[in-house]
Structure 1
Amino acid sequence: MNHFEIRRSVERGTMRNAWLDVRFSFSFDDYVDPRRMRFGPLLALNEDRVQPGTGFAMHPHRDLEIVMLPRIGAVEHRDSEGREMLVHPGELQWMRAGHGIRHRQWNISSHEVDHHFQIWFAPSVTGQEPTVERRSYLAPTAGAWRTLVSPQSQDAALDIGVDVILALGHVTPGQPLEIPARITGGLYLHVMQGQVEVQGADIDRVLLESGDAMVFFDGVPQLHLQALASAELLRFDTPAVDPETGLSDSPTFHTNI
């Protein structure tokens, strides 16, 4: 049987202040959980809510591949290399921090809370030239996946130079969603919103709600996802992951979405 864990939303780290409300799936900043330092190349999966007219002031990053997905509200980006852009829902932003970049991320709305996901990956190569790119994507239809990031050519996905596939899934009552089996490799399945039941070989029905995750470390059975309420999910396919350290040592992996 494939080794897996259920990680509940209430177990995530939290941080709140006057302008920011964050949920951390992995150790981040002052929140440290030795059991959840990373998942292979995935270093951070933060769900941020930023109050109007506030945000992250200019700050540095180095040797990270950062993907930001707005959910509600536009996010303004400005960086030390003179780039300025607004990133809206239905778009993603990729920032390669490389040998060093400073940026500001701001909610320019006067009334709307900015809700976005901030995802950090470990780079395959360090010290590269920093770059920032904004890209639109088509939302997945009910019962389907849309690949957003991949080293393979599918769904016009973005190749960020990391051995990971990131896909967005949409499941509704009557339109189930499937995850094919893989002999090896890890899976991190995060429910952005909604309720789903997951079934698979040797797996009884598992109910996942907003903020919950289901994690397979090495090998994934065929999974069937049935919505109790319309749901959207983030899916990360990675090389095999050590359950104790969160590290991967597999150089490559193969999957189909």
Structure 2
Amino acid sequence: MIRVRRSEERGHFDHGWLDTRHTFSFSRYHDPKHVHFQALRVINEDWVRAGHGFGTHPHEDMEIITYVLEGGLAHRDSMGTSSVIRPGELQRMTAGTGITHSEFNASDSEPVHLYQIWIFPERDGLEPSYEQKAFPVSDRKNRLRLVASPDAADGSLKIHQDARLYLATLDAGQSVSQAMVPGRHGWLQVLRGEVDLNGLRLSAGDGAASSDEPLLTIRAGGDAEAEVLLFDLAGMA
């Protein structure tokens, strides 16, 4: 079974400096039908204007993953980390027992376009930690590249949850497939372009939840390349 979450159905707020879309309930947006999917709690797509950003604020007991599509995002946190996240790079932050951080557009002239993802951790009270890695297009061209996993396999980021995240950039007409173990669930987020997921057409910003699907086949549609993020998630009680 596949359930599609269309881009235009997401929560949307335009604050002037921030244009944001929420796949799941977040902040002032609440939809009881879309609170989370398994351990996947937040998928926010943000466009932040030059010279603006999120001031210092706290988090705890959450795995936070940030992926930049365009521009640069300057990050500072209470662990002493200071970095800029660029396109093709993923950041993983374990909030655990508590951290504070800020995120600002690193440019004074261009916007930054990013996704921020929150995943429930395997348990509360973890020690806060941080990772940032680049996954170049050459590593994920027409293939599903593992970018986050509980065992840090294949050079992926280590997340503290039974979830595996894959990133792929597909040329027009190319496809990739992922076998799904019984009892696990998939979420596909289309970052750019258009794809067919098991014959269902999805566009940029669309998401799709899958359960009891033994095989997920993702094919780039249209005449341009597509970029997708696939989550392989354990079932939650």
Q: Which TM-score bucket, shorter chain as reference?
A: over 0.9
Distance in 2, Cα, partners of 1:180 & 1:192:
21
Asked if 1:94 corresponds to 2:92, the answer is yes
User: Percent of counterpart pairs with the same letter?
Assistant: 37
Distance in 1, Cα, partners of 2:34 & 2:24:
5
User: Who wins on radius of gyration, i.e. which is larger?
Assistant: 1
| Pairs within 5 Å for 1:157-196 | 157-196=156-195
Instruction: Give the paired residue count.
Output: 234
1:209 alignment partner in structure 2:
203
Whether the 8 Å contact between 1:15 and 1:23 is mirrored in structure 2 is: yes
Aligned alpha-carbon RMSD (Å): 1.5
2:220 alignment partner in structure 1:
227
Question: Which structure features the higher share of strand residues?
Answer: 2
Whether the 8 Å contact between 2:84 and 2:106 is mirrored in structure 1 is: no
**Where has structure 1 moved over 4 Å in runs of 4 or more?**
none
> SS where residue 234 of structure 1 aligns?
strand
What is the deviation of 1:181? Answer: 4.2
What is the deviation of 1:208? Answer: 0.7
Distance in 2, Cα, partners of 1:168 & 1:24:
20
Distance in 2, Cα, partners of 1:222 & 1:80:
42
Whether the 8 Å contact between 1:27 and 1:44 is mirrored in structure 2 is: yes
Residue of 1, 11, 19 corresponding to 1:13: 11
Cα deviation digits, residues 218-250 of structure 1 (max 9, x gap):
x2232332222311111011113xxxxxxx12x
Whether the 8 Å contact between 1:71 and 1:116 is mirrored in structure 2 is: yes
Q: List gaps (5 residues or longer) in structure 1.
A: 200-204, 241-247, 250-257
Cα deviation digits, residues 142-189 of structure 1 (max 9, x gap):
321111111245331122111101111222223222222432211101
Whether the 8 Å contact between 1:185 and 1:220 is mirrored in structure 2 is: no
Whether the 8 Å contact between 1:170 and 1:177 is mirrored in structure 2 is: no
Whether the 8 Å contact between 2:145 and 2:168 is mirrored in structure 1 is: yes
Whether the 8 Å contact between 1:197 and 1:208 is mirrored in structure 2 is: yes
